[in-house]
Amino acid sequence: MRHPLSLLEQRHSAPSRQLGEPGPAGDELLALLGAAIRVPDHGKLVPYRLILLQGESKRIFGERLAALSLRVNPDLPESKREKDRTRYEFAPLVVAVVAHLDPDSKVPVIEQKLSAGCVAYNLLLGAQALGYGAQWLTGWAAYDRDAAGVLGLADNEQVIGFVHIGTPQLDVPDRDRPALADVLRTWTP
């Protein structure tokens, strides 16, 4: 019998450049997305949005980001321009997880961002549960307002991360993890 926590114990990221077809689609994709949004949400604000990048839209998004980075840094080496241009093309699905923030809410903005972050993490767990690999990446585009404009984000929205999902093309070894004893303490008064 499988240990109830085995999914969490085995969770690891698969590098986005090693993710290929197939990826979740159709009803399976809808089920994954529906499960991913079952997150803590203080105040029922729904402080997150999902934007799917699939097919040709991934290439176009990368091209627009490469043009933005070149405008900001005209001396950008070709290798970095190429990386910006192609970084979204490997995995068959990239989900931009967006924090939709209400700064006037009684719920602190950090809690709203954490809720959106939980959506990104649920995508990682859900993809793994379905047999896919996934990686949560940010990069400069997650923090850049012009890149946010390419995605059509409002002023009160920001990218929490780009979750790349697909089938690992290589076995990905797990990385070293901290020992629990190194990060755990019990508070006593």
Annotated binding site for FMN: 11-13, 38, 42, 136-138
- Residues belonging to the binding site are 11-13, 38, 42, 136-138
| Residue corresponding to tokens 């192609």 | 86
**Structure tokens given for 166:** 């697909």
State the Cα angle at 183 between 178 and 189, rounded to 5°: 170
CB atoms within 10 A of CB 129: 13
Secondary structure string (H, E, C) spanning 36-74: HCCCCCCCCCCCEEEEEEECHHHHHHHHHHHHHHHHHCC
CB atoms within 10 A of CB 82: 12
